[in-house]
Amino acid sequence: MNSRRDFLQKLAASVIAFPMLSTEAISCIENADKKNYDGPPLRVAIMGLGSYGTRVADAMRDCKRARLVGVVSGTPAKITNWQSKYNIPEKNCYSYETFDTIKDNPDIDVVYVTTPNGLHHDNVIRAAKAGKHVICEKPMALNAKEGQEMVDACKKANVKLLVGYRMHFEPKTLEIIRMRKDGELGKILFFQGLSGFTIGDPTQWRLNKALAGGGSLMDIGIYSINGARYMIGEEPVWVTAEETKTNPQKFKPGVDETIQFQLGFPSGAVASCLSTYSMNNLDRFFLNAEKGFAELQPATGYGPIKGRTSKGELTQPHITHQTVQMDEMAGIILDGKQPIVPVDGEEGVRDLKIIDAIYQACSTGKKIALK
């Protein structure tokens, strides 16, 4: 890992070399490295100590406004390992059986839920009832009904609910959104989102209907759904979709292998997207408009993101996504900061409504209207 001094030197060089960095991108960078921030940190407990929880924990080492202080896990050995690795005190460690007592711990502000999709609903509601703010990984729930119940529970408990949309803080992504908002691309006409990879171990939870809620669409396809919305800047009004399954032994009933789906928007713009667990080299967004285009490839991976527009290459520097995300979410929770692209529970429900409609379109073969 580079030292902070090396990081700042590279950042300075980037700003000098590329003076046209957008305001949004520069804001993200500044928030990721605030030299003089001396206010209270956002004190985070991670629930679910798997691979992604570990990625978030490692990224938080470089945060200026967020600090990992607690863990929740059903595996005692993982808790012991994390205590040593991240210097977590015993009083901030919980099992799923003891989790509800977190309500009596004033040293934890927020619980970050990184458990399998099928557990999100209950985990989030338990955290809210314990009086803790919640960050939940995407998809927020198995369907829109569950998602709305989570939103309602957090509102009732007067706690914030955020969703782990790390791309909403990514500088190259934000630059394209700025260009679209400022009219530099003109009327938006078309979006293409390709999201997929070849999944491995057939026994993993992502291929378990009860835990995953589906297949590729719930895991990787949600990036194209969400991307279509923030790239076009509208909410879709209709959906069509078709599922393809070539390996029914690996992809059991209810676990989708590949789905092609289309979204229609009020302005007349359309999106054509692919979600798959059976093809690699699929991480691309393309936005076509009357005055130009924008492309990201890779578009949603852990980085660095690469992109270009009709005006040239995007040159905003890469910072670990989860580091930026957690510092920005600290600002949202502690200061009431409003992000450029929403990351609240309502945003998560919007994606879930589209996912519900895509699955309905696959099963019926019909064009589904979105309310």
Helices (H) and strands (E) in the chain, counts: 12, 15
The sheet with strand 66-72 has its strands ordered as: 93-94, 66-72, 42-47, 110-113, 133-136, 161-163
> 138 an active-site residue?
yes
Query: Is residue 198 a contact partner of residue 278, using CB atoms and an 8 Å limit?
Result: yes
Query: Is residue 258 a contact partner of residue 362, using CB atoms and an 8 Å limit?
Result: no
Strand pairing category for 293-296 and 282-289: antiparallel
Annotate 211-248 with b (16+ C-beta within 10 A) or e (fewer): ebbbbbbbbbbbbbbbbbbbbbebebeebbbebebeee
> 78 an active-site residue?
no
The rounded distance, in Å, linking the Cα atoms of 241 and 359 is 8
**H or E segment at 242?**
strand 238-244
Q: Which is the catalytic residue, given 94, 223, 230, 277?
A: 223
Handedness of CA 252, 96, 67, 77 (dihedral sign): negative
Q: Which is the catalytic residue, given 64, 132, 138, 353?
A: 138
Query: Is residue 346 a contact partner of residue 141, using CB atoms and an 8 Å limit?
Result: no
Strand pairing category for 238-244 and 188-196: unpaired
Residues recognised as catalytic: 138, 223
